[in-house]
Amino acid sequence: MAVNKVLPDYMMKNVILVLSLWLCGVSGCAQSSDQSKKTAAAEVNSMEKVEKSDEEWKKILTPEQYYVLRQQGTEAAFTGDYYHQKAKGTYVCAACGNELFSSVAKYNSGTGWPSFYEPITESKVGTEKDRSYGMVRTEVHCAKCGGHLGHIFDDGPRPTGLRYCINSVSLDFVANPDVAK
């Protein structure tokens, strides 16, 4: 009898989490056990894919959000709500709430869009080649719902040298004065 026929999905995720943590401990991972458990549990919970029809997305997103997040559009430079934002907190996907970027990694690139040198974790965003408008770029999308966020370039500051150039309209902001990377 197959394991996934016996255990419900939520229990299977816990089994996978426990096995992953055990393997991490056996292989001598550098993180502490408590931190590993928190990180792994958060990844399992936060990365359940969100799938909706176009009609469902149109009901929950504004027309501008739909254009950017679902149709790979771009908002006009220097017009977004978060371009000049300096508050501490977390930037989340406007479509699904996936935590994407920390204000700690935000910087002024002068490009007209909010820019970050790294996501909260690499698993929060996905990338793929974008050959639109006669250019070759790397698109950044939300790993949870697939929403288009912007593009990534290799002209950013240290420590990564990357610039995640993100549309404000694809983000929501959760203020937190105690935010840490």
Query: Which residues belong to the active site?
Result: 165
Q: What is the DSSP string of 54-102?
A: HHHHHHHS-HHHHHHHHH---PPTT-STTSS----EEEEETTT--EEEE
Q: How many CB atoms lie within 10 A of CB 106?
A: 21
The two three-digit tokens of residue 82, written as one number: 């978060």
Distance of alpha carbon 106 from alpha carbon 166, whole angstroms: 11
